[in-house]
Structure 1
Amino acid sequence: MNTLIKSLVPVAYKHRIAARLNAQALTLPPGPRAFVFLAADYGNVGDMAITAAQVNFLKQQLPHYHIVTIAVDQTRALIRSVRRQIQPHDLVTLIGGGNMGVMYPDIESLRQLVIRYFPQQRIVCFPQTLDWDDSPLSERTLRQLVKNYARHPNLHVFAREITSYHKLRALFSRYPNVKIGLVPDIVMSVTAAQLASQNPVQKAHLLRCLRADKEAALLSVQYARLDRALMDSGLKITLTDTVINADQLDNEQCASALADKLSQFRGARLVVTDRLHGMIFCLLTGTPCLVLANSNQKIQQTWLDWLQDQPRIKFVKTEQLHQVPSMIRELLALPQGPLDELALSAHHYQPLEQAINHFPSAHYAITAKPQQYIA
């Protein structure tokens, strides 16, 4: 009977009850504050990099503000305490990344919770990829997303590639209160040196950093073909990932894991990856990189929008796998780049700066000039 009753209670209602039962008090620093909600405290090193880069960006833009991170797992427990203390001059930001839309419903639900809880605050959602498809579930998810976002009077949502940007512009075309902008993934706004990456002496191996989850795109026969080409390179192959087996990490543990991963990428002569932040880690560490597509548009469109002129980053389409051996030779002939130089011009982030510093704009300018657009 208890099981039957539990099954009839809506999930949203269960979340509200759990939030009240587990509510915690948070002592906030005095003075103006900028909040980073949904900060990474779990084992995705790419998301750790997003959190670190977002904090760094806010510190540069708002030097007199205290930056307060709210870990994703602590959102429901702390959100009431933050709402009781928040002041009109405080800024609410939501984490960037690739968890907007249908693929990661738990995080999307928390994003909408934060938007509902702070109707009086200016909210800036850092650059995201929107994930959707033609399924009924995706249609329902997008309707709910639009409903909750559109209720907020001062919401600024940034896409990190132009496919998501066009979709978001279409979804919110009737809601001028939801401003849509386009800037690169926030991790490209920092250098590897700023994230404490080291410079290993030995650089003799090939790093294979490929997904084994629902975003993987290749067939088993294609992976086999790729692996043969990697073995033919003659380099020792090291397997890695941008996800580690860890959870509920504190800030120091996240910083250490991120620095270690960047140093591992810096220590490779070549990286082969289908992870967006695998590609971006190569960009930051100056390591030649062969990039494969994942299951949605985020890697290929990010490369098209921002990175196709980077000589150390080569994107290979599925139908181009036969060219992998020659691409590997070309990449191995390139020297590594520096750790302390920005790969992208800072002007690409000007629309985000405007949103953070409260320079209202009807439309944010687009600085990307893609050659192609993945519809």
Structure 2
Amino acid sequence: MTKTYSMDSLKEKLAELSDVIPTHSSVVYLDYPLYGNVGDLLIMKGTEAFFNAYGIHVRERWNAENFIPGRKMPKDAIFVCQGGGNFGDLYPHFQQFRERVIEHYPNNRIVILPQSIYYENEENIKRTKDILTAHPDLHLFTREKASFQFAKRHFQGMKNIRMMPDMAHQLWPLEPAEKPSEPVLRFIRTDKEANESLQEAGEPDTYDWPVMLSDSDKRGIKRLQTLNALNKKAGNLLPIAHYWKRYSDRLVNKSVRFFSRYESVVTSRLHGHILSCLLQKENVVIDNSYGKNANYYNTWMKDIPNTKLIQENGAKTEEPPVLV
């Protein structure tokens, strides 16, 4: 029998992460997003909320640009890698960063928070498998059934593969910042994951994360990214993670206010859908280019009230495709 989930139970499900990140343990949080994709910022905020809820001490925070693998770490420090949808070869920069960390720290536990998996090249899958299976204490959490099945099939020899909802669910519930004053928000992605056959982008009333953020917001992000690069050259003397926490809080709060203005949401962004649910808004989620949204919806969200999925007729969502 297929299990049904509520927003309460999805947050409670995340408590199972304490099996591998025990309460009061000490962690190094890696790959936090230093850019303007608010969906990834929601994941980061949910991760930090999880750390706080379970008394986990974060000894260091590093983004993918300023961490130097090989840096000395105590053996009892648990490396915790940011979750999201960039596991595979669609976003190679982040995947290569994770793989370097895994190779450099065979004596530390490494936990990869819930990720969706997508590969276009069979050789890249083999490379990842060799790196993952060589580590004796690596724990991979997949974000939906399709990615879980993919990992079990392609990463044979890796024992610690489990399934967990997105870390943004730790933020449940979010209070709307204001009463709705507009009917429907169309929040449609415009990047490489856009599903052109299902969505209509570019209309005057269509938004995406880059459109929602102001030029001032983008300049602030760029300044912090530049400071981060200079800081690395100087030996990482400045607390970039602290600066970014304050600035990213502002970006997330702005997004909550923006979504709060609308009665309902139509979106092809997974975190447009999740944020709508966190705010208890009626919403329709459109599948992305390779089935990520549909896979997530069918795994966790299909019984959440006032939600609906639009996907290709006959689309298969059992396992992320590999294009070779």
Matched, 1:93 2:84: no
Q: Which residue of 2 aligns with 1:242?
A: 209
Q: Which residue of 1 aligns with 2:247?
A: 253
1:224-248: CA deviations, max 9, x gaps? 8x97xxxxxxxxx843213444442
Alignment of 1:74-223 (within 5 A): 74-76=66-68, 79-80=69-70, 83-84=71-72, 86-133=73-120, 138-176=121-159, 179-193=160-174, 198-219=176-197, 223=200
Q: Which amino acid aligns with 1:186?
A: M
Q: Which amino acid aligns with 2:179?
A: V
Percentage identity across aligned positions? 25
Q: Which SS does the other structure have where 1:277 is aligned?
A: helix
Match of 1:69 among 25, 49, 61: 61
Q: Larger C-alpha radius of gyration, 1 or 2?
A: 1
Matched, 1:294 2:277: no
Matched, 1:53 2:20: no
> What is the CA–CA distance in structure 1 between the aligned matches of 2:305 and 2:173, rounded to whole Å?
18
Q: Which residue of 1 aligns with 2:273?
A: 279
> What is the CA–CA distance in structure 2 between the aligned matches of 1:189 and 1:316, rounded to whole Å?
26
Q: Which amino acid aligns with 2:96?
A: S
Tell me if structure 2 keeps the 8 A contact 1:192–1:262. Answer: no
Q: Which amino acid aligns with 1:71?
A: N
User: Cα offset for 1:204?
Assistant: 1.9
Alignment of 1:4-23 (within 5 A): none
Q: Which residue of 2 aligns with 1:24?
A: none
Higher relative contact order (CA 8 A, sep 6+): 2
Tell me if structure 1 keeps the 8 A contact 2:84–2:116. Answer: yes
Q: CA RMSD in A?
A: 2.4
Q: Which SS does the other structure have where 1:310 is aligned?
A: coil
Matched, 1:266 2:260: yes
> What is the CA–CA distance in structure 1 between the aligned matches of 2:116 and 2:27, rounded to whole Å?
23
Structure 2: gaps (5+ residues): 1-23, 226-242, 320-324
1:78-130: CA deviations, max 9, x gaps? x44xx32x222211111100000010001100010111121111111000001
Tell me if structure 1 keeps the 8 A contact 2:132–2:158. Answer: no
- Normalised TM-score (structure 1): 0.66
Q: Which SS does the other structure have where 1:128 is aligned?
A: strand
- Normalised TM-score (structure 2): 0.76
Tell me if structure 2 keeps the 8 A contact 1:205–1:238. Answer: no
Q: Which SS does the other structure have where 2:161 is aligned?
A: strand
Higher helix share: 1
Deviating above 6 A after TM superposition, structure 1's stretches of 4 or more consecutive aligned residues are none
Match of 2:303 among 302, 309, 313: 309
Q: Which amino acid aligns with 2:209?
A: T
Q: Which residue of 2 aligns with 1:34?
A: 27
Q: Which residue of 2 aligns with 1:339?
A: none
Q: Which amino acid aligns with 1:374?
A: E
1:261-299: CA deviations, max 9, x gaps? 022112211111101111101010111111111011210
